[in-house]
Amino acid sequence: MSYPVEQNEKFAKYAHPERLVSTEWLAAALEGGALSDGKLVIVESDEDVLLYETGHIPGAVKIDWHTDLNDEVTRDYVDGAGFAALAAAKGISRDTTVVIYGDKSNWWAAYALWVFTLFGHKDVRLLDGGRDKWIAEGRALTTEVPQPAPGEYPVVERNDAPIRAFKEDVLAHLGKPLIDVRSPEEYTGQRTHMPAYPEEGALRGGHIPTAASIPWARAAAEDGSYRSREELEALYLGEAGLQEGDEVVAYCRIGERSSHTWFALKYLLGFQNVRNYDGSWTEWGNAVRVPIVKGAERGSVPALVH
Amino acid sequence: MSTNTLPAALAEIVDDFQALSEPERLQLLLEFSRGLPELPERLLDHPELLEQVVECQSPLFLTIETERKDDGGAPGYRLFFKAPPEAPTTRGFAGVLHEGLDGLTAAEILSVPDDMPELLGLTRAITPLRMRGMTAMLGRIKRKVAAADRLQS
């Protein structure tokens, strides 16, 4: 049985308030002994692989986006058996309520949440504002690493189709809305790779034709929490021009920043069909004969690809 | 590549890492992140003297200073790093380079192979993506030392 959903004014306006919890809610749940029976598990997921070790929310376990969630050999996520083993080791069962938080406005936490969703984990929520907000509010931290009792997690095959787009899917999607969440320099193609690292970036710069540029961090307020429903609507319905019922694909460089936007579109604004293109620019910008637009204009769909 | 071409202090650090299991190596890196010295006051007040290493995922700034030896020998190079506490991996790498290279001569620093960070055995635990920052940090130090050394001669 999943944990009660938080009720507050800000969340109530979102399409799926059950996908967020506030720092107050989590602190109260901790106080109430929520972690004692395995029904609620807190997961920290950061960009920096050692940040959890410097101090984390009491009782939280760590999941690293790269070493835990990605397959070590193939550019793909872990399989059903791998995910089941990971979840069980972290004390997570199939019916556990999982609250994920992390650094950088939950950028990596949203990515971990997206991977949990690929496996159909039912109740997985983000801590609004993430690690930075928790710390800014002076809440408890510990370096003590919990040793959870193993969870019971079945081997569930990943179901990519509803929320994950591959390159071919994006080609077939052209003509429908795309959101590019990278920096303006990456969008225009002014920057194709990280300076001094030509071999590590993409061979071509620019964006996927017709993609709207909404850098991911614009969905976050100064304290790292998501912006209000009204602000998000101004951004995605107003500026990006999305309309109710649209099918949307979001992308960035490797699919992490766009997970943050995917969460906002799917759960906060309620778009039913939003997919994250995790191949993103490190695939598109290296792929042969895919259409690319350079500069600040969105560009149009080339006739050839249809 | 073996450790016998490395300056002694750096070779010792590499040996320490290699003697450990993977999770213990991460712990050791965390200790290095805690041991990274604070910037001296004169640099704290002059952030413009530090250069950002943009390849690091988290903000890392570094600079070097030439230190003349009283005996008239080749000057040593002091290394200074600044990285926020919320970037422990970056700080840990900086700590390794500081302890391994601080005060050495240009010849000693430039002799360090560019792919030295791989000797720490962290690539799998840290991921190749994160190892780039460390390689970039070493590269930046070597470029700065080489440039300063040309001015000396």
Q: What is the pLDDT of residues A35-70, one digit of tens each?
A: 988 899 999 999 888 999 999 999 999 999 888 999
Which residues of chain A are within 8 Å of residue B124 when distances are taken between CB atoms? Answer: 67, 72
Grouping H, G, I as helix, E, B as strand and the rest as coil, residue B105 is: strand
A194/B55 CB distance under 8 A? yes
Rounded CA gap, B8 and B151, in Å? Answer: 26
Assigned CATH class of A11-137: alpha beta
CB-nearest to A50 from B92, B127, B139 is B92
pLDDT digit string (tens) for B40-78? 888 887 778 887 776 556 678 899 999 988 888 889 999
- Report residue B4's pLDDT band, with 50, 70 and 90 as the boundaries: low
* Nearest Cα to Cα of residue A96 among A174, A25, A167, A36: A36
Which residues of chain B are within 8 Å of residue A196 when distances are taken between CB atoms? Answer: 54-55, 136, 139
Cβ-Cβ contacts under 8 Å for A28 (sequence gap 6 or more): none
Which residues of chain A are within 8 Å of residue B86 when distances are taken between CB atoms? Answer: 48, 51, 54, 103
Q: Specify whether the CB–CB gap between A104 and A219 falls below 8 A.
A: no
Res B1 pLDDT > 70: no
Cα A257–A260–A263 angle (5° rounding)?
Answer: 145
A48/B90 CB distance under 8 A? yes
- Which residue segments constitute the domains of chain B, with CATH numbers given? 8-151 (3.90.1010.10)
CB-nearest to A50 from B30, B55, B136 is B30
Percent with pLDDT over 90 in chain A: 85
Domains A11-137 and A167-285 share a fold: yes
pLDDT of residue A119: 98
Is A195's Cβ below 8 Å from some Cβ in B?
yes
Which residues of chain B are within 8 Å of residue A103 when distances are taken between CB atoms? Answer: 86
What is the average pLDDT score of chain A?
93
Distance of CA A88 to the CA centre of its chain: 22
Q: Residue B123 is encoded by which pair of tokens?
A: 């690539």
Tell me which of 3.40.250.10, 1.10.10.10, 3.40.50.300, 3.40.50.1010 is the CATH number of domain A167-285: 3.40.250.10
pLDDT of residue B2: 55
pLDDT of residue A194: 47
Min distance A67 CA to chain B CA atoms (Å): 7
Cα B93–B95–B97 angle (5° rounding)?
Answer: 75
| Chain B contacts in chain A segment 196-215 (CB below 8 A) | 196-197, 200
Q: Specify whether the CB–CB gap between A175 and A249 falls below 8 A.
A: no
Is A185's Cβ below 8 Å from some Cβ in B?
no
- Among A260-264, B94-98, B119-123, which stretch is predicted with the lowest mean pLDDT? B119-123
Instruction: State how far the alpha carbon of A276 is from the alpha carbons of A144, A157, A194, A240, A266, in Å.
Output: 35, 18, 23, 17, 11
Cβ-Cβ contacts under 8 Å for B27 (sequence gap 6 or more): A53
Please give chain A's pLDDT, 306 residues, in tens.
578 899 999 999 999 999 999 999 999 999 999 998 889 999 999 988 899 999 999 999 999 988 899 998 999 999 999 999 999 999 999 999 999 999 989 999 999 999 999 999 999 999 999 999 999 999 999 999 999 999 999 999 999 999 999 999 999 999 999 999 998 988 999 876 544 444 457 889 999 999 999 999 999 999 999 999 999 999 999 999 999 999 999 999 888 899 999 999 999 999 999 999 999 999 999 999 999 999 999 999 987 654
DSSP secondary structure string for all residues of B25-61: HHHHHHHHHHHPPPPPHHHHT-GGGSEE-TTSSS--E
Which residues of chain B are within 8 Å of residue A53 when distances are taken between CB atoms? Answer: 26-27, 30, 88
ipTM value for the complex: 0.82
Is A142's Cβ below 8 Å from some Cβ in B?
no
H/E stretch holding A181 reads none
| Domain locations along chain A | 11-137, 167-285
pLDDT of residue A195: 46
* Nearest Cα to Cα of residue B62 among B80, B48, B45: B80
B128 vs A131, higher pLDDT: A131
B26/A49 CB distance under 8 A? yes
Cβ-Cβ contacts under 8 Å for A124 (sequence gap 6 or more): A19, A97, A98, A99, A100, A113, A116, A117
How crowded is the C-beta side of A172, counted as CA atoms within 13 Å?
7
Rounded CA gap, A278 and A276, in Å? Answer: 6
Residues of A that are catalytic: 252
Strands, sheet with A248-251, edge to edge from the N-terminal-most edge strand:
A212-213, A178-180, A248-251, A274-277
Grouping H, G, I as helix, E, B as strand and the rest as coil, residue A120 is: coil
A66/B127 CB distance under 8 A? yes
